[in-house]
């Protein structure tokens, strides 16, 4: 492709994006299809000869778009969103052209040092003290896994060489997290060789926050029976309901009992930048490590997860490994030493573009707007006798249930209501279980969300509730 053709193609791609954006609000958020429908239209083998970009772009519209769940749709109110701004899109395009792989300082001095600066910018934005350094990973799952590997190294200093299995000198290594913590921590325990049997799910109080006394008791019991406590994970903004563990108290326990404290603030972390939300983050600056995901509530296209840690050496000791062919002598930071992956994308570019296009003020405005929209939805649901808001909403997630008609099973009723609302097209809600009961979630957090979309969700909930009730 000539330079001229490339410029024309990227201009067409930009036009394609503009046209997609224009029709996006009119598309259903969820596609209507069955598993296998998309693959059925894509050949099982690649083409022998290259095709024109026109053909491929036409097939993007014909085959792919109808099979998309539109994460950038203003009505995407499910899970936690991952959305993007123009800055993020342009940064991704440029990152692909530059194709940096900052595994060693030498392989991308700018990629390495921009990443280090972006970690400082994030730390500054969310008000964490100087002692924290960090690294950008793909997802919170990877970030928490790396934290656990570092914590394991601190608790079992020879683990790198000897592993955990079959050791007569070592009881089982254990991890602690609330019943509400994210499943990625359990996956980390599987991958790090702790095993699910040694993940303690600490009970929660009525507000779904970890009970510190139960945590202390579990760690002390384990120590008495020769187990090795490795890591506690506290969550600020649980996935299910946005519960906030009492990190301040948990940090004191971890300090007294000498256990690594990891804080999972994958979704809620950016809200620490809001003075009025600081109370939710009390004590997090005592953590050994913290994860927050710009690709959740900070308008950054997936993937981008920030892992912050106090003890860089612990992370390096656990994972640094340099074969001869990767040895270098310049002395800069080699980011391959603080993660599992060797090759890594130029993710810092999108944070740099984001911060510089929105400024910290713009990001704070966005977070406040999302909180306001969630508060509005909660107020509407609270005021409507057909619905109950069932958990506090400190950030931008509202958990609620519909009241079911006499004789109907409340869980089935709420499930049917959610599917009925989602089938209407303009919005997408997801669910969780709270206290064993099926609960709907309305999560605001996309850079593309609108007041109209949130209002539509409330209206459709009411309409579908009445329709189902009428249908009996
Ligand atoms: N932690 C929390 C609190 C989450 O809500 C999620 C995902 O929603 C994760 C971790 C996992 O995030 P990721 O998809 O980046 O691995």
Atom of ligand 1 nearest to the CA of 302: 15
CA of 291 to the centre of ligand 1 (A): 9
pLDDT at 190 exceeding the cut of 90? yes
**According to the model, what pLDDT value does residue 435 have?**
92
Q: Is the CB of 139 under 6 A from ligand 1?
A: yes
Rounded percentage of the chain residues whose pLDDT exceeds 70: 100
Q: What local confidence, expressed as pLDDT, does residue 155 receive? A: 96
- 103 close to 343: Cβ distance less than 8 angstroms: yes
Residue 1 has a pLDDT of: 83
Atom of ligand 1 lying closest to residue 79 CA? 8
Give the ranges where 134-198 is alpha helix by DSSP (H).
140-155, 159-162, 183-191
* Ligand 1 center–CA 266 separation, angstroms: 6
Q: Which one of 188, 237, 296, 441 would you pick to mutate in the ligand 1 pocket, going by the greatest count of ligand atoms within 8 A of its CB? A: 296
User: Which whole number is the average pLDDT over 252-261?
Assistant: 98
| Mean pLDDT value across residues 399-415 | 95
Q: What is the pLDDT of residues 29-55, one digit of tens each?
A: 999 999 999 999 999 999 999 999 889
Q: How far apart are CA 174 and CA 264, in angstroms?
A: 18
Angle at which helices 451-471 and 410-424 cross, to 10°: 130
Ligand 1 contact, 108 CB (< 6 A): no
Residue 289: which of 304, 269, 270, 310 has the closest Cα? 310
Query: 16 C-alpha vs ligand 1 centroid, how far in Å?
Result: 31
pLDDT tens digits for 441-457?
Answer: 999 999 999 999 999 99
If one counts every other C-beta atom within 10 angstroms of the C-beta of residue 45, the result is 5
> Does the CB atom of residue 182 touch ligand 1 within 6 A?
yes
- Which of 81, 84, 70 lies closest to 20, judged by CA? 70
Instruction: Answer yes or no: are the C-beta atoms of 337 and 328 closer than 8 Å.
Output: no
pLDDT in tens, 323-354: 999 999 888 999 999 999 999 999 999 999 99
Using alpha carbons, select from 219, 278, 268 the residue that is nearest to residue 243.
268
CB 294 within 8 A of CB 288: no
356 phi, psi to nearest 5 deg: -75, -25
Cross-strand bridge partners of residue 459: none
Spatial separation of the C-alpha atoms in residues 309 and 317, rounded to whole Å: 13
278-320 residue pLDDT tens = 999 999 999 999 999 999 999 999 999 999 999 999 999 999 9
Nearest CA to ligand 1 atom 2: 266
Q: Residue 166: left (phi > 0), alpha (psi -120 to 50), or beta?
A: left
- pLDDT confidence of residue 42: 95
3-state secondary structure at position 177: strand
Region 230-247: mean pLDDT is 98
Q: What number is the average pLDDT over the span 193-219?
A: 97
82 lines ligand 1 (CB under 6 A): no
Residue 370, pLDDT above cutoff 90: yes
CA proximity to 309, closest of 271, 261, 270: 261
Distance 141 CA to ligand 1 centre (A): 6
Distance 45 CA to ligand 1 centre (A): 34
Cα separation of 378 and 397, whole Å? 9
Q: Which of 330, 258, 343, 304 is nearest to 134 (CA)?
A: 304
Task: Extract the tokens encoding 352.
Answer: 């740099």
- Of 71, 140, 191, the residue with max ligand 1 atoms within 8 A of its CB, to mutate for a pocket test, comes to 140
305 CA: nearest ligand 1 atom: 15
pLDDT digits (tens, 9 = 90+) for 95-148: 999 999 999 999 999 999 999 999 999 999 999 999 999 999 999 999 999 999
Residue 384 CA to ligand 1 centre (angstroms): 31
Q: How far apart are CA 164 and CA 170, in angstroms?
A: 8
pLDDT at 472: 54
């Amino acid at each position: 492709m000539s330079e001229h053709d490339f410029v024309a193609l990227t201009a067409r791609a930009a036009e394609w994006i503009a046209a997609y954006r224009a029709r996006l609000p009119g598309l259903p958020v969820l596609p209507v299809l069955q598993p296998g429908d998309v693959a059925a239209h894509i050949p099982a083998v690649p083409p022998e000869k290259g095709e024109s970009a026109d053909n491929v772009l036409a097939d993007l519209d014909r085959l792919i778009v109808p099979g998309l769940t539109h994460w950038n749709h203003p009505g995407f109110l499910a899970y936690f969103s991952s959305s993007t701004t123009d800055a993020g899109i342009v940064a991704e395009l440029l990152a692909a052209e530059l194709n940096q792989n900052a595994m060693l300082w030498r392989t991308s001095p700018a990629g390495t040092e921009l990443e280090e600066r972006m970690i400082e910018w994030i730390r500054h934005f969310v008000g964490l003290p100087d002692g924290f350094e960090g690294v950008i990973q793909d997802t919170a799952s990877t970030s928490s896994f790396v934290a656990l590997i570092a914590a394991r190294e601190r608790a079992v200093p020879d683990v790198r060489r000897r592993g955990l299995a079959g050791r007569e000198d070592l009881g089982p290594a254990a991890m602690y997290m609330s019943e509400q913590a994210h499943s990625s921590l359990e996956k980390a325990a599987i991958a790090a060789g702790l095993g699910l049997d040694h993940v303690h799910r600490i009970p929660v109080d009525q507000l779904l926050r970890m009970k510190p006394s139960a945590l202390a008791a579990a760690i002390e019991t384990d120590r008495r029976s020769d187990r090795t406590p490795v890591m506690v994970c506290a969550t600020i903004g649980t996935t299910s309901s946005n519960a906030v563990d009492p990190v301040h108290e948990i940090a004191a326990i971890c300090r007294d009992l000498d256990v690594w404290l990891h804080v999972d603030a994958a979704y809620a972390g950016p809200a620490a930048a809001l003075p009025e939300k600081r109370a939710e983050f009390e004590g997090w600056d005592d953590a050994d490590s913290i994860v927050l995901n710009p690709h959740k509530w900070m308008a950054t296209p997936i993937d981008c997860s920030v892992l912050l840690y106090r003890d860089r050496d612990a992370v390096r000791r656990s994972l640094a490994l340099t074969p001869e062919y990767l040895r270098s002598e310049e002395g800069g930071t080699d980011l391959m030493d603080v993660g599992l992956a060797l090759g890594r994308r130029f993710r810092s570019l999108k944070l740099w573009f984001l911060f510089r296009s929105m400024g910290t003020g713009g990001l704070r405005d966005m977070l406040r707007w999302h909180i306001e929209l969630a508060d509005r939805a909660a107020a509407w649901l609270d005021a409507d006798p057909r619905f109950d808001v069932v958990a506090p909403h400190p950030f931008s997630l509202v958990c609620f249930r519909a009241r079911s008609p006499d004789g109907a099973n409340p869980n089935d009723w709420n499930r049917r209501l959610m599917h009925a609302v989602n089938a209407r097209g303009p919005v997408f809600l997801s669910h969780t279980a709270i206290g064993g009961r099926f609960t709907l979630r309305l999560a605001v957090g996309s850079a593309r969300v609108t007041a109209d979309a949130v209002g539509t969700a409330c209206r459709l909930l009411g309409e579908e509730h009445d329709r189902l009730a009428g249908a009996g």
